[in-house]
Amino acid sequence: MEIRTRALEDNFRFLAGLAAPYADLLAIVKADAYGHSLAICAPAAARAGAQWLGVTSVEEGASARDLCPGARILVIGGVFPGQAATLIHRRLTAVAWEPWQLGELEAAGRAAGLAPESLPIHLELDTGMSRQGVGPDGVDAVLAHFTPASPLKLEAVMTHLFAADEADGRITAEQLTRLDAALGRISAAGHFAEWLHVGASAALLAGQAPEIADLAARHGMKALLRPGLALYGIVPAFDPEFVPPIADEAPSTLAAARAALQPVLSWKAQVVGVRAVPAGAVVGYNGSFVATEPMRLALAAAGYGDGLDRRLGNRFSLLVRGQRAPLVGRISMDQSILDVTEIPGVEAGDEVLILGAQGAETISAFDHARACETIPWEVFTRINARVRRFAV
Ligand SMILES: *Cc1c(COP(=O)(O)O)cnc(C)c1O
């Protein structure tokens, strides 16, 4: 895999420009930077100006800390019991929403001798997704942990929008209404947080930064948005009927993003060998493909053990010498077979392009996703660790 760090940096700067002056960005580099390599992408995002990085776990946060000593690193997936001391030691910031999490963080903060109100916490609110976050009824119990003597400091309040790509903006509007009410309750209880962070790539690209910044400002807060997929150059698939919620103010954010964002990743393999087979030859496990005529087949060194979805066998093409070569037969663990009958001159060592561009042709993460009924996020994150990542 070739990772174009320049593209990632350009993407970050473009997105920061879309968010400005309304919101700052937290660059999501969880799941090994969406499979693009944390080691390559976290420093690139930081070089482009990212001050905040979002990772899944304390373990991933520790890796990010080694790579980016000066960044704020947010652990968005929650902290396991017993990890609070490590989190403090590695200067990571916890997303928390349950009383026991805050209890552990507080105890670890005291044990580390932290001053009152010095350990920043990002409190997640559940505004309708039922995944993470405290619901309206639990807010008071959670807030009770933020006392003047505690090392905990409420630095941010966050929530996750789960339908920002849908044509009907009703769900997002309801989430923002619930968020507004919860923020009112938090300030009525005498608490103040500096940051409000809401919204992933879809909200940012749909031009919702002004609306989120307005909501933050009403509560004396600053806004952060958390793009992931867009950083890697992919625009989420909005509903075909989608109309940006504030179309007058931001008619062009989506169109501008489609023009400006550049895919960061290319995934390549090589041809191991080429063979000629007669009509009637059986190809691959269980003979799911039978040669219809004399054919030339190239063996490619990539299989489902690399993250090439097995469902792509007999229904997708890769690129060889700038032309589409259909995958024939089942994909094996380490190999797959391409029909190169129509592509002259293919030989061992030729590049097989799995994802990215070759010549005038491209294969996008959406092409893969559509062919195996998933989403680009999954296409990226299941590319196996044995596929080496190179910064280019
Ligand atoms: C993954 C994630 C994001 C980024 O989502 P994209 O759709 O990839 O931009 C933002 N916030 C949270 C909490 C996430 O888990």
Element containing residue 111 per DSSP (H, E): helix 99-111
What are the tokens at 189? 């209880």
Q: Do 198 and 61 share a structural domain?
A: yes
Task: Map tokens 């990212």 to a residue.
Answer: 50
Cα–Cα distance, 76 to 54 (Å, whole number)? 6
Please give the distance, rounded to the nearest whole angstrom, from the Cα atom of residue 175 to the centre of ligand 1.
16
Please give the distance, rounded to the nearest whole angstrom, from the Cα atom of residue 280 to the centre of ligand 1.
49
285 catalytic residue (yes or no): yes
Q: Do 275 and 241 share a structural domain?
A: no
Q: Do 353 and 308 share a structural domain?
A: yes
What are the tokens at 220? 């004396």
Examine the fold and report which residue of 210, 227, 260 is the final residue of a domain before the chain moves on.
260
Pocket test for ligand 1, best of 11, 76, 122, 161 (most atoms within 8 A of CB): 76
Set 22, 30, 268, 304: catalytic member? 30
Q: Do 236 and 101 share a structural domain?
A: yes
Examine the fold and report which residue of 234, 260, 286 is the final residue of a domain before the chain moves on.
260
Contact 152, 110 (CB under 8 A): no
Examine the fold and report which residue of 260, 289, 308 is the final residue of a domain before the chain moves on.
260
Q: Do 253 and 204 share a structural domain?
A: yes
Q: Do 269 and 246 share a structural domain?
A: no
What are the tokens at 19? 């968010």
304 catalytic residue (yes or no): no
Cα–Cα distance, 254 to 260 (Å, whole number)? 10
Q: Do 361 and 256 share a structural domain?
A: no
Pocket test for ligand 1, best of 25, 28, 160 (most atoms within 8 A of CB): 28
Atom of ligand 1 nearest to the CA of 34: 8
Please give the distance, rounded to the nearest whole angstrom, from the Cα atom of residue 228 to the centre of ligand 1.
5
Close Cβ partners of 59 (under 8 Å, ≥ 6 residues apart): none
CATH, residue 341? 2.40.37.10
Please give the distance, rounded to the nearest whole angstrom, from the Cα atom of residue 200 to the centre of ligand 1.
5
**Model confidence, pTM:** 0.96
Please give the distance, rounded to the nearest whole angstrom, from the Cα atom of residue 295 to the centre of ligand 1.
45
Pocket of ligand 1 (CB under 6 A): 28, 30, 76, 160, 200-201, 226-230
Closest residue (by CA) to atom 4 of ligand 1?
A: 228
User: Phi, psi at residue 384, to the nearest 5°?
Assistant: -65, 155
When divided into structural domains, the chain yields a total of 2
Give me the domain span that covers residue 350.
265-391
Q: Do 222 and 322 share a structural domain?
A: no
Element containing residue 30 per DSSP (H, E): helix 30-34
Cα–Cα distance, 73 to 51 (Å, whole number)? 9
Cα–Cα distance, 304 to 287 (Å, whole number)? 18
| pLDDT tens, the chain, 392 aa long | 999 999 999 999 999 999 999 999 999 999 999 999 999 999 999 999 999 999 999 999 999 999 999 999 999 999 999 999 999 999 999 999 999 999 999 999 999 999 999 999 999 999 999 999 999 899 999 999 999 999 999 999 999 999 988 888 899 999 999 999 999 999 999 999 999 999 999 999 999 999 999 999 999 999 999 999 999 999 998 887 777 665 555 457 888 999 999 999 999 999 999 999 999 999 999 999 999 999 999 999 999 999 999 999 999 999 999 999 999 999 999 999 999 999 999 999 999 999 999 999 999 999 999 999 999 999 999 999 999 999 99
Q: Do 246 and 310 share a structural domain?
A: no
Cα–Cα distance, 323 to 347 (Å, whole number)? 14
Set 222, 232, 285, 304: catalytic member? 285
